[in-house]
Amino acid sequence: MSTQGRTAESQDAGFARSVAAASGADPLVCLQCRKCTCGCPVAGRVDLRPHELVRLVQLGERDEVLRSRMLWECTSCQTCVTRCPQSVNIPALVDALRQLSRAERKTAATTVVPVFNDVFLGTVCRLGRMYEAGLMASFKVRTGRFFEDLDKLPMMLRKGKLALLPKLVRGGGARKRLFRRAKAAGGKRR
């Protein structure tokens, strides 16, 4: 990605360092060899390909990075970091950027992944385990996607693929404490 035609106004000089601290990955050592993008399963559909994302982080293009759809289309398949000659941990970088994107309310409008994550983790906090039937119901209510995959429901029930009731896991109080403390602790600090 070219460094030409970018203005100082959009650039945040400390961005790369703060993202490095939050993720434990070092975007500054990237060589732009594009090996990450060659192996990326979603490179053909995302607005920023992995090597472009890293370059924009280097350039401090905070807003463009945090508003990117790429953050919510990366499948965390770990192919990029496995092949990177510089060991840039792009999946860790993307996780840190996801959290920053949500904290600054810059999440791409097209994605429902954050809603899913909230419903999923709320379920785990309350029940201790995933409870698909409840998760799907809450997710559908929160997103208005009532009819998606509804056709599969009878078949899934018939094939025993959906439990109707959640399992009860002991230790609810300790679990809630764990979630509360984890939220307060935040991420990596270097």
109 makes contact with another protein (CB under 8 A):
no
Q: Among 183, 11, 190, 188, which residue's Cα sits nearest to residue 92? A: 188
CB of 172 to another protein, least distance (A): 10
137 makes contact with another protein (CB under 8 A):
no
Stretch of 8-16, 30-38, 58-66, 144-152 contacting another protein, by CB under 8 A: 144-152
Q: Under a CB-based contact definition with an 8 Å cutoff, are residues 45 and 73 in contact? A: yes
Q: How far is CA 167 from the centre of its chain?
A: 28
The dihedral sign for the CA sequence 50, 51, 57, 59? negative
159 makes contact with another protein (CB under 8 A):
yes
5-9, long-range: CB < 8 A, 24+ apart: 6/59, 6/61
153 makes contact with another protein (CB under 8 A):
no
The dihedral sign for the CA sequence 85, 89, 91, 93? negative
CB of 28 to another protein, least distance (A): 20
Q: Which residues bind another protein (CB under 8 A)?
A: 24, 41-42, 45, 72-73, 75-79, 81-82, 95-96, 98-99, 102, 111-113, 116-117, 120-121, 124, 128-130, 132, 136, 139, 148-149, 152, 155-165, 167, 169-171, 174-175, 177-179, 181-183, 185-190
